[in-house]
Amino acid sequence: MHARDIPKVIKILKQVNASFTIPAVTQISNKSRSPFMVLISCILSLRTKDSTTAGASKRLFDLATTPKTMMNLPLRTIEKAIYPVGFYRNKAKVIKNICKQLVEEYHSKTPDIIDELLKFKGVGRKTANLVVTIGYGKPGICVDTHVHRITNRWGYVKTKTPEETEFALRKKLLKRYWIIINDLLVTFGQNICKPISPLCSKCRLYQYCDRVGVVKSR
């Protein structure tokens, strides 16, 4: 895929995704306008299906929506609320610790700087970028497994890890697409450009895609 194709590809992605459900974390951001809730829902979403993330987030936020109130919840209460997200016991501890750190070191305000967010145990670049972009509307590129896989499959970048993909996209992708690229490719990756046997016969981006690494498709 050539860089000149990106504006056309973005336009097509928006059209294709219009009939699909947007990612759970984005739904939470649109509804709450709370960077803190984006942060917590991001933690819950790691290695967890979107539908499970949405349910767990709602149950937890029904109990608490601020670092202080969430910090004061018993660990067992958090575990029960977020079950069955992946690694729910560990995530409950991570959430408690993040809330404590926010209260004690940041006056309960979720940082809007990636390097500050990375100081929290359990927060990686994907989560930090998502908080900055959809939580605060600031420039950043959130790269998860879908963004990494699809941009490499397109042949737009050639990288080995999501972190490498983030920095490659920062150099190559027009800045106006930074914030939206994650939502677009997560939705597209969940429904069309799947990890195994993507739906190439139904894909409107077929003519732009190099199909790097695609062995079998439908």
* Predicted confidence (pLDDT) per residue in 185-200, tens digit: 999 999 999 999 999 9
CA distances from 127 to 12, 19, 89, 148, 166 (A): 26, 26, 19, 15, 13
Long-range contacts of 10-13 (CB under 8 A, 24+ apart): 10/177, 10/180, 10/184, 12/204, 12/205, 13/184, 13/185, 13/188, 13/205
Kindly give the interhelix angle for 6-17 and 178-191, rounded to the nearest 10 degrees. 50
Please state, in angstroms and rounded to a whole number, the distance separating the CA atoms of residues 41 and 108.
17
pLDDT band of residue 11 (cuts 50, 70, 90) is: very high
* Predicted confidence (pLDDT) per residue in 111-153, tens digit: 999 999 999 999 999 999 999 999 999 999 999 999 999 999 9
Q: What is the Cα Rg of the chain in Å? A: 18
**Contact by Cβ (8 Å): 131, 113:** no
Cis status of the peptide bond prior to 111, with omega within 30 of 0: no
Q: Do domains 3-21+140-208 and 24-135 have the same CATH topology?
A: no
| pLDDT at residue 131 in the model | 96
Going from N- to C-terminal start, the domains of the chain cover 3-21+140-208, 24-135
Span 13-27, mean pLDDT? 93
Q: Does domain 3-21+140-208 have CATH number 3.20.20.70?
A: no
Among the listed residues 145, 152, 154, the one whose alpha carbon sits nearest the alpha carbon of residue 124: 145
* Predicted confidence (pLDDT) per residue in 168-188, tens digit: 999 999 999 999 999 999 999
* 150: exposed, middle or buried (Cβ count in 10 Å: 0-12, 13-18, 19+): buried
Q: Which residues, in sequence order, are CB contacts of 143 under 8 Å at separation 6+?
A: 125, 126, 129, 162, 163, 165, 166, 169, 182
| pLDDT at residue 136 in the model | 96
**Contact by Cβ (8 Å): 57, 116:** no
Please state, in angstroms and rounded to a whole number, the distance separating the CA atoms of residues 85 and 103.
25
Write the CATH number of the domain with boundaries 24-135: 1.10.340.30
Span 30-48, mean pLDDT? 94
| pLDDT at residue 189 in the model | 96
* Predicted confidence (pLDDT) per residue in 78-89, tens digit: 999 999 999 999
Q: What six digits make up the tokens of 53?
A: 């993330």
| pLDDT at residue 67 in the model | 98
Span 52-81, mean pLDDT? 97
Please state, in angstroms and rounded to a whole number, the distance separating the CA atoms of residues 60 and 77.
9
| pLDDT at residue 173 in the model | 97
Range of lowest pLDDT (18-27, 34-43, 176-185, 197-206):
18-27
Span 75-98, mean pLDDT? 97
